[in-house]
Amino acid sequence: MESVYILVGRRGNGEILVEVLNDSGVTLGPARPVSAHDFPSLVRHEELGSPRWVWEDTASIYPVLLEAGVRVERAHDLRLCHAILRHSVLTAASELARSEPSRWDAALAFVAESRDPGATLFELLGDDIDADGDGDGHGDAGFADLAAEFRSQLAAVAETEEPGRLRLLLAAESAGALIAAEMRFAGLPWRTDVHDELLTRVLGPRVGPGVRPVLLEKLVGRIRLELDDPLVNPDSPPELTRALRRAGLAVTSTRAWELKELDHPVIEPLLEYKKLARLLSANGWYWMDTWIVDGRFHPEYLPGGVVTGRWATRGGGALQLPKQVRGAVVADSGWKLVVADAAQLEPRILAALSSDTAMADAGRGTDLYAGIVASGVVETRAHAKVAMLGAMYGATTGESGRLLPRLARAYPRALALTETAARAGERGDQVTTRLGRSSPPPGEAWYAAQSLASSEGAGDADERRARTQARDWGRFTRNFVVQGSAAEWALCWMAEIRRELRKLTAEVEAGAGADVGVGVGAGAVAGSAFASGSPSGDGGSVFADVPHLVFFLHDEVIVHTPEYLATRVATIIEEAAATAGRHLFGSFPVDFLLTVATVDNYGDAK
DNA sequence: TTATCTGGCGCG
DNA sequence: AAAGCGCGCCAGATAA
């Protein structure tokens, strides 16, 4: 079946243009203008034919559709896909990679920063968000530029030896962009009352800004007493270091792990203080007031925000939600959270990347580290873990370094892959993930340091610096291959989960004889950035009654689902992991084990 | 005063 | 036991 693409662009006057293309990017008819107001209904209608929407930036356009109650099944995000193809060594010979930098390169950062979730449809779709600076706006020429870019991307992929890989990567990256927008829109269910109780229990009652809660103040009192310093501020590392030294403790820093080694009565209250002060400043009442809107946490997810292809986030530190506060993530009444975590994802990815069947065997149907122990490679699970991490991160010393030779003997292919990636980085070469995302080349300064060291009259210091930098970059490329390929697996996993959840939704709605139209129509929730029509959060939104992804954390997802569907959701997530593994690694026999928990609150999921 | 850097720590 | 990858965010310190 031939794919149909619909290209979406805009004119300077706020009007939107849509044009149907075939799967070579060739126009099948004239571009049709549509007003910003009518755009969501057009999309809803065209969705019946399952097109792939081709647009510049999902993060700018899709929130508008969600707000209007419209979801789309598939997209091609020109901005994200360009970034991949521009830097991949697989497409280095393509026109796209060889042409002069254009707005697709220079303007990316600008577009990414210009988003505003509260912006109106007109602002998002009608405004000039191109940063080409030539002031000619976006007449039909701008639209033609989108079509040309799309064709250029298709051509770059088609020219590669195994186009299926990059095709999958671009589809996964684009699906990720849809998911990112949907997760932000839906938000993570968050009970501020539960959060407040938790804070009050460990810090004392809420106080204004600049005031220490009472339990924290008490700890400060004990610290000052034990250090015999009535004024020391434990929030100031220099002050604290001086005070500790005066008390006879030979510290080089105030880091918790260094303090833990010391035997002194101040250590216990000090470590406790650090823990609680961190909670207050990072996820205290101020955080709650700032980031929780109508019972939902709405961080902005940035697909491709990390060089390796991992996601970044902006706002609220969503990827660092401490375990301490996860109890405040509570399913709505009548709903459940299905929390799934890929167990030992990166070693499994490494086993598959390197076709190391022995390592894959160690993880078959069991905890991979336990499997390594069972194979007699090392004595304890902790050893297996630290040795594996050392192999993937490039440890040379300590316990990890000592255990590496045993790992290398048992799993030569896996270890050879990480070594090869490290050597490539040390030479300044790029490395590439399973699906084709390449590491950036090192910067000018790096090359300069290398050539300086090998030039006539280079000093010992020059050589040492060059060697250090080469090894540093080698550790980066060593890890890039594994972390980046794991990120690709996670994207495929999530895309598959999303697809199956939509099928489940359609099935349930058909079975119930319900009106299959989702959402409440354009404009019904205008004025709210997140479409929260009821106190429980999702009322009136496109996710009001259906299971949907609400959180993603590198190798972990959360689906918020009506309770009666929780079992089926868990099955979908399990099967999606196996499917993602096949998409990346074909028939190579590697398990991607999950731990899946159906819970009322995130804190209960281990 | 504001802008940027640093130490420290949360997550994977 | 604290090396070895990728991030974001905070308070305090320092530069401008």
Radius of gyration (C-alpha) of chain A in whole angstroms: 27
Is A180 inside any structural domain? no
* Averaged pLDDT, A148-167: 97
Q: Would the pLDDT of A532 be above 80?
A: no
pLDDT on residue A118? 41
Report whether A339 contacts A599 (CB < 8 A): yes
* Averaged pLDDT, A152-164: 97
pLDDT on residue A140? 55
CA of A344, C1' of B10: distance in angstroms: 20
Report whether A370 contacts A347 (CB < 8 A): no
Q: What is the CATH number of the domain that holds A383?
A: 1.10.150
pLDDT on residue A514? 52
- Domain shared by A38 and A154, yes or no: yes
Nucleotide B7, nearest residue via CA and C1'? A237
Question: Residue A274 CB closer than 7 angstroms to strand B?
Answer: yes
Is A29 inside any structural domain? yes
Near strand C (CB < 7 A), which residues? A 233, 235-239, 257, 260-261, 281-282, 286-287, 302, 305-308, 310, 312-317, 319-320, 386, 389-390, 393-400, 472, 475-476, 479-480, 483, 554
Question: Residue A319 CB closer than 7 angstroms to strand B?
Answer: yes
- Domain shared by A226 and A315, yes or no: no
Which nucleotide has the shortest C1'-to-CA distance from A473? C5
- Domain shared by A448 and A534, yes or no: no
Which nucleotide has the shortest C1'-to-CA distance from A385? C4
Q: Mind listing the pLDDT tens digit for each residue in A409-456?
A: 999 999 999 999 999 999 999 999 999 999 999 988 899 999 998 888
Q: Mind listing the pLDDT tens digit for each residue in A170-224?
A: 999 999 999 999 999 999 999 999 999 999 999 999 998 888 999 999 999 999 9
Is A169 inside any structural domain? no
Q: How confident is the model at residue A376 (pLDDT cuts 50, 70, 90)?
A: very high
Amino acid at A285: W
- Domain shared by A503 and A537, yes or no: yes
Q: How confident is the model at residue A396 (pLDDT cuts 50, 70, 90)?
A: confident
pLDDT on residue A141? 58
Is A506 inside any structural domain? yes
Last residue of a domain, one of A106, A138, A161: A161
CA dist., res. A546 & res. A506, Å (int): 10
Lookup: tokens for A184: 């932000």
Q: Which of A14-18, A258-262, A401-405, A488-492 has the highest mean pLDDT?
A: A488-492
Is A179 inside any structural domain? no
**Which run of H or E residues covers position A340?**
strand A335-342
- Domain shared by A355 and A441, yes or no: yes
Q: Would the pLDDT of A18 be above 50?
A: yes
Domain count, chain A: 4
- Domain shared by A28 and A154, yes or no: yes
- Domain shared by A126 and A11, yes or no: yes
Last residue of a domain, one of A484, A501, A522: A484
Residues spanned by the domain of A363? 349-484
Nucleotide C8, nearest residue via CA and C1'? A317
Q: How confident is the model at residue A531 (pLDDT cuts 50, 70, 90)?
A: very low
- Domain shared by A417 and A470, yes or no: yes
Angle at A350 between CA A344 and CA A354, to 5 degrees: 150
Q: How confident is the model at residue A539 (pLDDT cuts 50, 70, 90)?
A: low
CA dist., res. A139 & res. A152, Å (int): 20
Question: Residue A278 CB closer than 7 angstroms to strand B?
Answer: yes
Collapsed DSSP state (helix, strand, coil) of residue A594: strand
Strands (E), A3-145: 5-10, 16-21, 32-34, 52-55, 74-77
Amino acid at A149: E
* Averaged pLDDT, A96-120: 63
Q: Would the pLDDT of A569 be above 80?
A: yes
Q: Would the pLDDT of A122 be above 70?
A: no
Query: Could you please report the per-residue DSSP string of A446-496?
Result: HHHHHHHHTSTT--HHHHHHHHHHHHHHHHHHHHHHHHHHHHHHHHHHHHH
* Averaged pLDDT, A305-327: 92
CA of A468, C1' of B6: distance in angstroms: 22
- What is the residue-averaged pLDDT of chain A? 88
CA of A48, C1' of C4: distance in angstroms: 50
Is A170 inside any structural domain? no
* Averaged pLDDT, A457-467: 87
Q: How confident is the model at residue A2 (pLDDT cuts 50, 70, 90)?
A: low
CA of A198, C1' of C10: distance in angstroms: 20
CA of A31, C1' of C6: distance in angstroms: 43
* Averaged pLDDT, A502-523: 67
Q: What is the CATH number of the domain that holds A565?
A: 3.30.70.370
pLDDT on residue A193? 96
Poorest-confidence range of A115-124, A225-234, A355-364? A115-124
- Domain shared by A498 and A466, yes or no: no
Q: How large a percentage of chain A has pLDDT more than 90?
A: 75
Lookup: tokens for A329: 């993530």
Q: Would the pLDDT of A524 be above 80?
A: no
CA dist., res. A15 & res. A17, Å (int): 7
Q: What is the CATH number of the domain that holds A243?
A: 1.20.1060
Which nucleotide has the shortest C1'-to-CA distance from A308? C6
Is A362 inside any structural domain? yes
Q: Please provide residue A300's backbone torsions phi and psi, each rounded to the nearest 5 degrees.
A: -90, 120
Q: Mind listing the pLDDT tens digit for each residue in A491-502?
A: 999 999 999 999
Question: Residue A413 CB closer than 7 angstroms to strand B?
Answer: no
Question: Residue A324 CB closer than 7 angstroms to strand B?
Answer: yes
- Domain shared by A51 and A136, yes or no: yes
Q: Please, which positions of strand C sit below 7 A from a protein CB?
A: 1-14
- Domain shared by A334 and A445, yes or no: no
- Domain shared by A480 and A493, yes or no: no
Q: Would the pLDDT of A3 be above 90?
A: no
Is A186 inside any structural domain? no
Q: Would the pLDDT of A344 be above 90?
A: yes
